[in-house]
Chain A
Amino acid sequence: MLQSREMLRLYRQMLLIRRMEERVAESYGEGKIGGFTHLYIGQEAVAVGAISALNFDDYVIDTYRDHGHFLARGGDPKKFMAELFGKQTGICKGKGGSMHMADVERYFFGGTGIVGGSIPIAAGLGLACNYREDDRIVMSFFGDGATNQGVWHEGLNFAKLWNLPVIFICENNFYGIGTGVQFSSSLTEVHKKASGYGMPGYRVNGMDVLEVRRVCEEVVKLVRGGAGPALIEARCYRYQGHSMTDPGRYRARAEEELWRKRDPIPRLAKDLIDGGFATEESLLELDREIEALAEEAVQYADESPDPAPEALYEDMFAVRYPSDPHA
């Protein structure tokens, strides 16, 4: 059983993601955020439970649905919002946007917009861990849809073949955009795909942050101990559309209602209150504090300057040559 302080920390992080995402949706509606924006609302327990089982210097890598992982990794909410607003103060100086959040100081190697593209890269991070014989491990997040992509299989094969310390976490939210997993995957029980590579596969309730944390802690210990890679399937649900432009016609209302009853945040709130670790008032107070943080982030992003025009030409190469694009 986790200590109450740790449970409260998990609660706080999930709530931070939820409130920040609500502000993201709002700001998108106001036209302050553009492009593809994929919200993480509903899946908070996965990023928070899993990442909280890591050390600070372990590697984390992700997909375009990267807001939750960025924040769970401790990324700065202000730099996060500023990135979405395309501002100079954004974590990627406004060059990445929603899908390409990275925070290298926190060993968060961010978002790729190519489904499955991060999987061999995750294995490469794991290769570096083994090459240097350091104590680090890698956590790689992706969706159910990614598990049907060619490089996903290449990455898992490499990881097992070379005994790389990588935990592959599939956030099975049952849909890739509007296509149900039963229409896209030969195995709908994604964790069983692990057996094709001789690695252990686990299934967890991705709506229960304590379960995610418990299983991840176990798996982290094994993988750090040299057991090789593992696959975890966290079953979860995104409450919003695939992205901000999704009319959402492909899911039954009853199904959505069912999953809303499994919301990981009230679930942990109940555990906290029942355990005597919090009261309704103390959680409300926390919520107000987080709302203020989110508001501050929006304000910071609003007030931050646009990138300078010269920024267009910067950051492509470590060393520039006269033939490179310039003003």
Chain B
Amino acid sequence: MPEMRYYEALIEAMAEEMRRDESVFLMGEDIGLFGGTFRATEGLMAEFGSRRVRDTPIAEAGIVGLAVGAAMAGLRPVPELMTMNFAIVAMDQIINHAAKMRYMFGGQLNLPITIRAPGGGGTQKGAQHSHSIESWFVNSPGIRVVIPSTPADAKGLLKTSIRSEDVVLFVEHEMLYSSKGQVPDEEVLIPFGRADIKRPGTDLTIVAWSKMVHEALHAAEALAAEGIDAEVLDPRTLDPFDWDGVFESVARTRRCVVAEEGWRSVSVGAEIAARIQETLFHELDAPVARVAAVEVPTPYARKLEQKALPNADDIVRAALKIAV
């Protein structure tokens, strides 16, 4: 199995799907000649040309809207939002149009759109460029939310997303692009709605996704030193969600920490905690613990940013509180 970086895995996934299906095309700001702000489309314009790798104006609502129209007509657009932060500008097209159209038209059409966008903070980009707002989209019906943490998951899930007949928000993480991992040589399509156990354990389940998976893995090592064997469970897709996978793990370990990079209130983490308690109340040995960002606009100053965003230490602290 070759080792590759997260962004390289994304490029491979797109290139393979574009070779396979002429109706797949990419559009976004600086994705072509420039190669993508995070290099995630590097080389694709050279291979596929400017018809299928389209540099766009800086117009996020327009980009998503054009993708909706192209999908209505049977193409498979893969628009890139330069970052998740700018999804906020395109929110009406994503939520009111892309996500609702199939339902409100009584299922008359499919919209096979994969919106790629990198989210996350941790590089001092300040309040407007550090969002982890996947919860907003999970809160809205009609859109799948896919959020891989490793190169292999990134590749396999992006291929599945592009082949999906439905609207997918594919959330990458700015700090994961250069991370490395083994990616299978053969073609792998990772199904939606299947959580992956990134580290098996017996004493406690940490549910985490995107970059927080890596924080959770660090935390698990630290906890191991304390004699606590933590399992790290990565749902990989937040919509659909593998509730059975989470319940199975937590029923076994009887303790759970949910760790996310986004803000705490009314979040995916809140939903997971609520459902675990609804479903497994009698199996739990402790309340579900939560780790999330402090609810302030992400500050610039390095020390403050580090305090605002959750990390492995926060997970360890939360775990120790419920592990006794």
| Residue on B nearest A97 in the bound complex, by CB | B104
| Chain A neighbourhood of B142, CB < 8 A | 316-317
| Chain B neighbourhood of A92, CB < 8 A | 104-106, 108
* Contact between A316 and B65, CB atoms less than 8 A apart: no
B223 at the interface (CB under 8 A from A): no
B240-260 at interface with A (beta carbon < 8 Å): 240-244
B54 to chain A, nearest CB (A): 8
| Chain B neighbourhood of A103, CB < 8 A | 108
The CA-CA distance from A129 to B66 in the complex, in Å, is 12
Interface with A: B28-36, B68-76, B177-185, which one?
B68-76
Interface with B: A236-244, A297-305, A318-326, which one?
A318-326
| Residue on B nearest A114 in the bound complex, by CB | B96
The CA-CA distance from A112 to B72 in the complex, in Å, is 14
- How many interface residues does chain B have, given as a range? 35 or more
A128 at the interface (CB under 8 A from B): yes
| Residue on A nearest B113 in the bound complex, by CB | A124
| Chain A neighbourhood of B25, CB < 8 A | 131
* Contact between A94 and B69, CB atoms less than 8 A apart: no
The CA-CA distance from A114 to B102 in the complex, in Å, is 16
Partner of A321, one of B70, B75, B96, B193: B193
Partner of A95, one of B64, B73, B103, B243: B103
* Contact between A95 and B104, CB atoms less than 8 A apart: yes
Interface centre among A90, A117, A316, A322 (most CB of B within 10 A): A316
* Contact between B192 and A321, CB atoms less than 8 A apart: yes
Q: For the complex, would chain B's binding face be called helix, strand, loop or mixed by DSSP majority? A: mixed
Partner of A128, one of B75, B144, B239: B75
The CA-CA distance from A122 to B56 in the complex, in Å, is 16
B51 at the interface (CB under 8 A from A): yes
- One digit per residue, 1 when the CB lies within 8 angstroms of any chain B CB and 0 when it does not, for chain A 82-126 equals 000000001111111000101111000110111001011111111
* Contact between B66 and A109, CB atoms less than 8 A apart: no
Interface with B: A150-158, A206-214, A226-234, A271-279, which one?
A150-158
- How many interface residues does chain A have, given as a range? 35 or more
| Chain A neighbourhood of B69, CB < 8 A | 61, 109, 120-128
A292 at the interface (CB under 8 A from B): no
Known: A121-B65, A122-B69, A316-B141. A157 touches B104 (CB 8 A): no
A229 to chain B, nearest CB (A): 13
Known: A93-B107, A322-B244. A127 touches B70 (CB 8 A): yes
Q: For the complex, would chain A's binding face be called helix, strand, loop or mixed by DSSP majority? A: mixed
The CA-CA distance from A96 to B100 in the complex, in Å, is 10
Partner of A318, one of B57, B66, B96, B166: B166
The CA-CA distance from A325 to B243 in the complex, in Å, is 13
B197 at the interface (CB under 8 A from A): no
A315 at the interface (CB under 8 A from B): yes
B212 at the interface (CB under 8 A from A): no
* Contact between B66 and A120, CB atoms less than 8 A apart: yes
The CA-CA distance from A103 to B96 in the complex, in Å, is 19
* Contact between B107 and A315, CB atoms less than 8 A apart: yes
* Contact between B73 and A59, CB atoms less than 8 A apart: yes
* Contact between A317 and B106, CB atoms less than 8 A apart: no
The CA-CA distance from A269 to B58 in the complex, in Å, is 50
* Contact between A120 and B165, CB atoms less than 8 A apart: no
* Contact between B105 and A100, CB atoms less than 8 A apart: yes
| Partner-B contacts on A (CB < 8 A) | 59, 61, 90-96, 100, 102-105, 109-110, 112-114, 117, 119-129, 131-132, 150-151, 154-155, 157-158, 161-162, 314-319, 321-325
What would 11 more interface pairs be, CB under 8 Å, given A114-B97, A121-B65?
A: A61-B69, A92-B108, A100-B105, A117-B65, A117-B92, A121-B93, A124-B66, A128-B70, A129-B73, A323-B240, A325-B141
* Contacts A/B (CB < 8 Å), 13 sampled: A92-B108, A113-B96, A122-B69, A124-B70, A125-B69, A125-B73, A131-B51, A151-B65, A158-B62, A162-B54, A319-B166, A323-B240, A323-B241
